[in-house]
Amino acid sequence: MADHHTAKTSEELGYETSDADIKPLAYFAIYLGIFIFISIVGMVVLFKFFDYYQSLYDNPTPPLAETRRMAENIPRLQVDPPQQKKELTLLVSERLTTYDWVNREAKVARIPVDRAMELLATGKIPMPRAPKAPAQP
């Protein structure tokens, strides 16, 4: 009896006849995981290092901002734009939402915008008159 079972190569069959070796794939995954972990830890350490030493290299005020009164044609820099914007926002918010005297002798007070709109809508204070248009020549 002839043995008809002949070993064919994977090229002849058109597919792989053996499985991939798992050891190199596992080693690669482990090494990749270790590399990613070390990279993340290294970045955290590096950013902490930069954060600690950055204040030593920062100039607290730019040179042009130190001299407040310079010639009019030289631009003046803001010392701390984000802080100044925050202060302006707080000032505007306070002015629009609180009560205060504008001129105590003339009995002129500032009231919150919401309250002023409410009083205007109910008619408790008169509607301000529109300014007259200037005369056209």
- The pLDDT, as a whole number, for residue 50 is 87
What pLDDT, on a 0 to 100 scale, did the predictor assign at position 129?
79
* Confidence at residue 31, expressed as pLDDT on a 0 to 100 scale: 97
pLDDT, position 1: 46
**Cβ pair 67, 79 in contact under 8 A:** no
The residues of the chain scoring below 50 in pLDDT are: 1
CA distances from 135 to 58, 130, 132 (A): 57, 15, 9
Looking at residue 79, its pLDDT comes to: 73
Q: Count other C-beta atoms under 10 Å from residue 111's C-beta.
A: 14
